[in-house]
């Protein structure tokens, strides 16, 4: 018989429900008992088959990962970093889960060296090797210490990313405000992002770098206490075209994200091959005329 003791009744109930869900017949379910007044879950593993014990271990793992892990993340955010606001916590949690889901490879590389699943399953195997009564909190403190420490590293990394994102949003808003107050200096222009950034006017004539530098509004550089890319962002803001035809084969690169966030509906993204097709068509028409 294994007994798992919790401090909170809802945790005992949650694990009990999760364990019941992994069994389909009443005989198996009878091997699990919830002692509500003591916040205790009892497992009669001596009468369970090998497959049933495997299901119990998996359910216990799922309880740790799906039910308790988010509570631990929130506790770390609140107790160690003083993020008590639920909206802020949720934004940081979204970053954490994007790392866990493998969508932030540039961040996940900082957390290599510890296999979460292997660590948790090893601790669970140790528990189920003997018939014992144990406190879940003690199990976490002693058996999952390395796991909890890694959760702290996830939180720390996500907070850094969250702060950077907040600064980025402020940067974008400052430049949007600047753009809102400007008259367009061109109806539209073409920007090709291939080997660097190359500007073309409405007639598909390249705008030389010297012309772009002269077009930059000095107030943009002097009056705004943020770094502004003088190669692409500053000329675009200064010319403030009504439409930007942006040609790229790498639409997910950070510069394109920034241009899109600042200029919003003014940006018309297209493939680079479309630029050359449109340019050739334009010159063929011009020569005929």
Q: Which two tokens stand for residue 131?
A: 């018939």
Q: Quick check: 236 pLDDT over 90?
A: yes
**Residue 175 near residue 233 (C-beta atoms within 8 A):** yes
User: Which pLDDT band, with edges at 50, 70 and 90, does 108 fall under?
Assistant: low
Residues 255-274 have a mean pLDDT of 96
Work out whether the CA dihedral 95, 101, 103, 104 comes out positive or negative: positive
- Determine if the pTM surpasses 0.85: no
Strands (E), the chain: 2-5, 32-35, 40-43, 133-135, 188-194, 196-200, 206-207, 243-247, 267-270
Q: How many CB atoms lie within 10 A of CB 36?
A: 10
Domain boundary assignment for the chain: 2-176, 182-288
Q: In this predicted model, what pLDDT tens digit does every residue of 139-155 receive, in sequence order?
A: 999 999 989 998 999 99
- pLDDT at residue 116, as a whole number: 78
Tokens 């109930």 correspond to: 13
**Residue 136 near residue 5 (C-beta atoms within 8 A):** yes
What is the spatial distance between Cα 131 and Cα 203, in angstroms, rounded to a whole number? Answer: 81
Q: Quick check: 224 pLDDT over 80?
A: no
**Residue 230 near residue 224 (C-beta atoms within 8 A):** no
Tell me which H or E stretch contains 73. Answer: helix 69-81
């Amino acid at each position: 018989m294994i007994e798992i003791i919790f401090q909170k009744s809802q945790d005992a109930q949650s694990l009990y429900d999760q364990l019941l869900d992994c069994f389909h017949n009443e005989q198996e379910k009878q091997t699990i008992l919830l002692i509500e007044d003591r916040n205790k879950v009892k497992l009669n593993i001596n009468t369970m088959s090998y497959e049933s014990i495997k299901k119990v271990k998996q359910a216990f793992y799922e309880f740790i990962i799906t039910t308790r892990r988010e509570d631990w993340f929130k506790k770390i955010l609140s107790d160690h970093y003083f993020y008590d606001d639920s909206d802020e916590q949720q934004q940081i949690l979204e970053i954490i889960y994007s790392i866990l889901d493998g969508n932030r490879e540039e961040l996940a590389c900082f957390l290599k060296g510890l296999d979460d699943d292997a660590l948790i399953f090893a601790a669970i195997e140790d528990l189920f090797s003997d018939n014992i009564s144990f406190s879940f909190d003690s199990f976490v403190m002693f058996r999952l210490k390395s796991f909890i420490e890694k959760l702290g590293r996830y939180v720390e990394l996500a907070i850094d990313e969250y702060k950077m994102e907040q600064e980025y949003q402020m940067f974008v808003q400052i430049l949007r405000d600047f753009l809102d107050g400007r008259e367009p200096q061109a109806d539209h222009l073409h920007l090709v992002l291939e080997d660097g950034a190359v500007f073309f006017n409405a007639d598909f004539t390249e705008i030389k770098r010297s012309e772009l530098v002269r077009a930059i509004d000095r107030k943009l550089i002097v009056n705004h206490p943020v770094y502004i890319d003088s190669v692409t962002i500053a000329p675009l803001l200064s010319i403030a075209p009504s439409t930007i035809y942006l040609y790229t084969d790498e639409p997910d690169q950070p510069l394109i994200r920034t241009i899109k966030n600042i200029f919003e509906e003014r940006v018309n993204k297209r493939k680079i091959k479309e630029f050359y097709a449109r340019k050739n068509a334009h010159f063929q028409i011009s020569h005929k005329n």
